[in-house]
Structure 1
Amino acid sequence: METFDHRTFPLARLVGPRRSVVVLLLGLVLSAAVLILAPGPTESTDASVNLPDNAESAIARDRLADLPGGQDAPAIVVVSNGGERIDRTQLAALGRLSQDLGSSFDSEVAGPVPSQDGTVALLTVPLPGGVGTDENSERIEDLRADVREALPDGLTAEVTGAPAVQADLGAVFEGADFRLLAATAIVVALLLIVTYRSPWLWLVPLIVIGLGDRVAAKVVEAISGLTDIPIDGSTTGITSVLVFGAGTNYALLLIARYREELRRHEDRREAMRQAVGAAAPAILSSSGTVVIGLLALLLADAPFVSRIGLSGAAGIVVAVFFALVVLPTAMTLPGRWLFWPFVPRVGDPDPSERGLWRRVGTTVTRRPVVVTVSGLVILVLMALGTLGLRTGLGQDEQFLDTPESITAQKTLSSAFPAGSSAPTSIVTTPQRAEQVARAAGDVPDVRSAEVGREGDGIAEVSVVLSDEPSSEAALRTVGLLRTAVQDVDPDALVGGQDAEALDEADTAARDRGVIIPVVLAVVLGMLLLLLRSVVAALLLASTTVLSYLSALGVGWLVFDHVLGWSAMDVGTPLLAFVFLVALGVDYNIFLTARAREEMRRTGDATGSIVTALAVTGGVITSAGILLAAVFAVLGVLPLVLLAQLGVLVGFGVLLDTVVVRGLVTPALVAWCGRRFWWPSRLSRPADPAGRRLPHPGHSG
């Protein structure tokens, strides 16, 4: 059979007595240059809006900006008296507060407007729109401080409205980089210590990947600054998790192969050259799948999704550079003692020969049909949980911890129509404004529709809904509203917060329909390129997709019945698909790439997959647990989207690692035999001399 010299792989040649030092120094110099010289990011004026420019609500927002005061974003001060009526003295004091706020913020403050039962009063403070996140947060903080200072005794005030919600969303990410980095580093360090059982080995991959994470963050900021693509805390947080998760996975695979080669070679640099040459093709194939899958997100209309794709792809490229260029040189400099107290020596027995995963592989391949069918049935049953899955969270459901702007909306909706804090705006002409207002007023669940500002051939009709902002009922009402007003004015546009939520849901559905087939094609293409087998590529891609659906089904049941969330965020299913399919196929690539290597050496399909599982089982399991734990760290940021993403990807990775890679894939290979590798040369039997025989009927 075939023998291999992995030293011929280009990256393996970077390892050597002098070259290792030079490569490590160049890597550190390049990192320092990026950290010092990279330009800053473009700051988003409203990172919470996730709409394409051609969405109806986005066009309506741009048209309304041309009206007098159209750039203003109203902040609403909700004043209550603990369920009691606000008396005249208190209302008079609120009137003076209104004047003071008008002077402080150089705007005409409306109110106080008491509710019908007199228990709640509103002050509306117009604030200039189109400002950066930091400036908006400062203004809301100043407004809240001014209100608290001048509020009459006995009254309670809360600030809501679009600027306040945006400020509270920004507050979620204050110090997020440090918290996320600290939590991720702790999780990675603990798991590396458990994996290697060495007091210092874990430090090398942690320091290298940690440096890679900081470099990746600067690269993403530089891309943002050079392309004017804004980023926010959620973008950088997800990118950091990707870099740490994927980078540590690649490091684990490389170090495991290095340890294996140290039992065969006396020279540690020779062992590392062999390890890099053997591991790099699988790492490059899997990381290439992730990068291209993330770049496919650039096809998305939703700006947030496309930003995640661009920044995530850049982060993975940086992670691969540090895992395959910097880490090998850093690992070879200290010598074998780095593995103390379990130092691998030449001639040591291979622990995988009698390990847990060899026993698992032997057991699974004895009954491949039973294991395959049982595993697939379990996955299908889990996937049934997707039936009835709902997407689209209300604004009050976006946060794990309820901020002031959301509690203010609840106070407001107890005494006013729920939609008062976020009126829907209709753009029409002055000539048709009254007709449009009447048509809007006839729509069910519309509390009021009044003609507002006019100018330059544009008129605004302000509509207040009975439904909670961004709720499913509000989105349904907006759909009816669009139909009703466009019967009167075909050119009318419906905008506002609820219309934006509806357009975001429609955009997310369109993005899923476009991007999911592209990512599947990428995964299939990379598997075909690496394994040169149509059967293997189709089976591995199918099991990975089924694993995603199973994770989605179980995740939805947990969200709905355990955590009480009414829906998934509109972006969660697509992002989870890309992460799980692109990252999940990594483990099948690592396993089957090693199986292909063994198959070329021995020609035994079942034996090759058992050996591959025995050799890679431990490291892949460690990598899967680590990646799942790293994604779970997203829960340190109190945003439901990130929590849902962390749960889905974390559970999906564990499911893929244990059930798919550990049981189903080996059983499938044993069931298919040589046909698993069809139509490559590996699918053909070998003659006694070790040469592959042609397929029956082959003329060559």
Structure 2
Amino acid sequence: MIVAWLAVAGVGGPYFGKISEVSSNDQSSFLPESTESTRVTNLQGEFRDSDAIPAIVLLVRDGGLEAGDRAWAEELTASVQDAGLSEGETSPPIPSEDGQAIEIVVPLGDGEVVDDVEALTALLEEGAPDGLQSYVTGPAGFTADLVAGFAGIDGLLLGVALAVVFVILLVVYRSPVLPVLVLLTSVFALSAAILLVYWLAANDVVRISGQVQGILFILVVGAATDYSLLYTARYRDALLHHRRRGDATRAALKGSAEPIIASGATVIAGLLCLLLSDLASNKALGPVASVGIVMSILAALTFLPAVLWATGRGAFWPFRPRYDPAGADRVRVVDHGADGRPSVEGRGVWASVARFVARAPRAIWIVTTVVLLALAGFSTQFQASGVEQSELVLGESQARDGQDALAEHFPGGSGSPAIVMVPAGQVGPAVDAVEATGGVAGVAAVALDSPSGTLPLGENAVPPVGPFAGVEPTEAQGLVQLQVTLDDAADSPAAEQTVRELRGSLSAVDQGILVGGATATTLDTNETSIADRTLIIPVILAVITLILMLLLRSVLAPVLLVLTTVISFFTALGVSALVFEHVLDLPGADPSVPLFGFVFLVALGIDYNIFLMSRVREESLVHGTRAGILRGLTLTGGVITSAGIVLAATFAALAVIPIMFLVQLAFIVAFGVLLDALIVRSLLVPALTYDVGRAIWWPFHRRIEP
């Protein structure tokens, strides 16, 4: 078994640096074919020879441009063409009406956008006149920011996550050997997962993005470590009961396989619900993360038992567990305490927690629930209707600064127009409808015979003269492409509202008119994400509840467990709303953030309840329900808390990638997991189940002693 996993790691290891090759961060490629913006994107190929991404070069001089600035702008245009940076014709320098800025649109190839933007920036820095500010912004600038933001996902993210987990494991185990074995389990599971996901993506079975890639890394490391902690705790207990390590291995596998497989199955079921999503990025996370969970389970139940069997008690050095069957039962439950109910004897943090729960269960679960619900009330302040593209990457951004400067001197949508596909016979009425819509700065038609590639239209348009007089808009498949420049920045909420109004007014002209472009893509993505969230969350709850019913052989217990986890999620969301708005000063969140947060918190939060309640049921069958609750809490307290801290730390590592989506998801999941492990699973669930008593196993409660 060890040799087999070494072979898997040897083959899969090199793919750590290759998986980015099959990853894409192009937002439009994840939308379903049925959306209006996707249909426009597909039709645009008829009006252009390449898939170039426009970069907007902005030159600004406060107080007014000088003659030398204009001359240098002309030279810059020629330099861009000579350097081969432009995928097509670079626009001539376009001065602003206030005379303080010049705009040049450079169509960059869609290959190495980061390199092209860096080369373009270098050209600007080489010979710009003194005092002339320069920026590279527009779609290419923001794409370069996004790619650069994900650049550390292969090395930095994984390195930070493994380092944090290693330190936590050293503290938990107080052994230099065991943390290495557990981390090897996680790395081997990740190697196997990456190998499989790479080939799935390479063969177009799934379409992954940088955020899916980052979540896969973190999820596998966290889940594999959690499952390893559970098995290791069982194995250590088994070494106290069994002299031979083979017998201890069998006992540990028997005790840990069911809860590990059940918890993994719960997470997988929740993740696979994402297949219902209309967004390819969300849909891909389901099978990709499920592959990671499967490999985590396999590694924790095959490689780790094998390597622990091979090392025996030496794995726990210097605190080796000794064979001691007489003192192996560390938890003693007094059958009748002062109030006639069972209580726990002994020392230790979790024995004290169990006694606390036994003394006042009703007060504990009521007070805890009230506090959680009060914090959950702030979840209504969580703004998840979308954020501007310029805000996606945290920290300094030339593209963001350039966008702000562009809006001061040109219409905000310059360089990123809305794209309108109009039947050739409806161009006139369509242009009238566009000009009658608020938020529109100008409209032009694509005309490949024109030197600029466009033909100005509308009431104030100046027709071309000289040899280009009489140029007509290019027609393809009976359609004409209009470019509508918006007053507001293409990624702003105001621009999205203008697109909504354009779609409404143009559909009144002809139902066949389509509105696309960068703004429409963002709008369609946000609306699709919101629709996904509304559909998928109830499905996840139903699926997880059914799995728990099968596992716990009960109806009431699973319903209560799911309710506590949902309360925990909304509490995490409420606290996150306060932190994001008042501490981090973030402008909002992507609509998929609550969905991803819900998937991970509900699925992973249920994990800890499964670890606890499966042990509680096991103990209840022997000692009775209330004694079983106290024994289960005491026996699993340490390992589940350690698992929660490890998982929270691994998700927190996502914050090292300066992408707003990942930073927000890191906080929500890390805080929520700690809340589940330290409060919900430690106090709320035990106190509630203790107060309910044997009825918690309804309708099969009569089979278990009170």
Amino acid at match of 2:91: A
Gaps of 5+ in 2: 332-345, 448-473
Question: 1:36 offset after TM fit, Å?
Answer: 6.7
**Match for residue 532 of structure 1?**
553
Query: Could you say what secondary structure the match of 2:414 adopts?
Result: helix
**Deviations along 1:616-642, whole A, 9 cap, x unmatched?**
011111111111111000011000000
**Match for residue 179 of structure 1?**
156
**Match for residue 427 of structure 1?**
421
**Deviations along 1:180-231, whole A, 9 cap, x unmatched?**
1110111000000010111222111112212222222222112211335333
Question: 1:297 offset after TM fit, Å?
Answer: 1.0
Amino acid at match of 1:629: A
Is residue 212–residue 318 contact of structure 1 (8 Å, CA) maintained in 2? yes
Q: How does 1:111-260 map to 2 (within 5 A)?
A: 111-128=92-109, 131-132=110-111, 135-260=112-237
My pick for the range that moved more, 437-446 or 635-644, is: 437-446
Distance 1:360 1:89 in 2: 77
Note if 1:24 corresponds to 2:13: no
Note if 1:476 corresponds to 2:497: yes
Instruction: Label 1:516 to 1:384 Cα distance change in 2 as closer, same or farther (>3 A).
Output: same
Q: How does 1:538-553 map to 2 (within 5 A)?
A: 538-553=559-574
Give the alignment's Cα RMSD to 1 decimal: 2.0
Distance 1:620 1:385 in 2: 28
1:369 to 362, 371, 384: 362
**Match for residue 84 of structure 1?**
63
Question: 1:64 offset after TM fit, Å?
Answer: 1.9
The two structures have a TM-score, normalised by structure 2, of 0.89
Question: 1:401 offset after TM fit, Å?
Answer: 1.6
Amino acid at match of 2:10: A
Is residue 8–residue 192 contact of structure 2 (8 Å, CA) maintained in 1? no
Note if 1:60 corresponds to 2:81: no
Question: 1:484 offset after TM fit, Å?
Answer: 1.2
Note if 1:610 corresponds to 2:603: no
Amino acid at match of 1:116: E
Distance 1:287 1:535 in 2: 22
Question: 1:468 offset after TM fit, Å?
Answer: 2.9
Is residue 392–residue 661 contact of structure 2 (8 Å, CA) maintained in 1? yes
Question: 1:46 offset after TM fit, Å?
Answer: 5.0
1:662 to 659, 682, 701: 682
Gaps of 5+ in 1: 1-22, 687-691, 693-700
Is residue 24–residue 210 contact of structure 2 (8 Å, CA) maintained in 1? no
Is residue 216–residue 314 contact of structure 1 (8 Å, CA) maintained in 2? yes
Query: Could you say what secondary structure the match of 1:426 adopts?
Result: strand
**Match for residue 281 of structure 1?**
258
My pick for the range that moved more, 199-208 or 448-457, is: 448-457
Distance 2:554 2:312 in 1: 39
Question: 1:138 offset after TM fit, Å?
Answer: 2.9
Question: 1:293 offset after TM fit, Å?
Answer: 1.3
**Deviations along 1:590-648, whole A, 9 cap, x unmatched?**
0000000001112x211111110100011111111111111000011000000000000
My pick for the range that moved more, 373-382 or 102-111, is: 102-111
Distance 1:369 1:40 in 2: 51
Question: 1:136 offset after TM fit, Å?
Answer: 2.9
**Deviations along 1:514-561, whole A, 9 cap, x unmatched?**
211221122112101110100011111111111111111111121122
**Match for residue 394 of structure 2?**
400
Amino acid at match of 1:641: F
Question: 1:495 offset after TM fit, Å?
Answer: 0.8
**Match for residue 341 of structure 2?**
none
**Deviations along 1:428-469, whole A, 9 cap, x unmatched?**
123222322221222222222333443122112222222233
Q: How does 1:503-582 map to 2 (within 5 A)?
A: 503-582=524-603
Amino acid at match of 1:647: F
1:47 to 26, 30, 38: 26
Distance 2:118 2:704 in 1: 74
**Match for residue 96 of structure 1?**
75
Amino acid at match of 2:68: T
**Deviations along 1:557-605, whole A, 9 cap, x unmatched?**
2112221112111210111111111111000000000000001112x21
Is residue 145–residue 393 contact of structure 2 (8 Å, CA) maintained in 1? no
**Deviations along 1:152-175, whole A, 9 cap, x unmatched?**
343232212222222221111224
Instruction: Label 1:413 to 1:190 Cα distance change in 2 as closer, same or farther (>3 A).
Output: same
Query: Could you say what secondary structure the match of 1:122 adopts?
Result: strand
Question: 1:311 offset after TM fit, Å?
Answer: 1.3
Distance 1:173 1:451 in 2: 36
Distance 1:248 1:334 in 2: 19
Question: 1:260 offset after TM fit, Å?
Answer: 1.2
Note if 1:599 corresponds to 2:620: yes
Is residue 105–residue 415 contact of structure 2 (8 Å, CA) maintained in 1? no
Q: How does 1:413-492 map to 2 (within 5 A)?
A: 413-453=407-447, 454-456=474-476, 457-492=478-513
Distance 1:175 1:630 in 2: 15
Instruction: Label 1:472 to 1:525 Cα distance change in 2 as closer, same or farther (>3 A).
Output: same
Amino acid at match of 1:307: A
The two structures have a TM-score, normalised by structure 1, of 0.90
Distance 1:37 1:157 in 2: 39
My pick for the range that moved more, 445-454 or 534-543, is: 445-454
Distance 2:143 2:564 in 1: 40
Is residue 97–residue 151 contact of structure 1 (8 Å, CA) maintained in 2? no
Instruction: Label 1:127 to 1:27 Cα distance change in 2 as closer, same or farther (>3 A).
Output: closer
Query: Could you say what secondary structure the match of 1:245 adopts?
Result: helix
For these two proteins, the number of residue pairs brought into alignment is 658
**Match for residue 695 of structure 2?**
675
Question: 1:124 offset after TM fit, Å?
Answer: 0.8
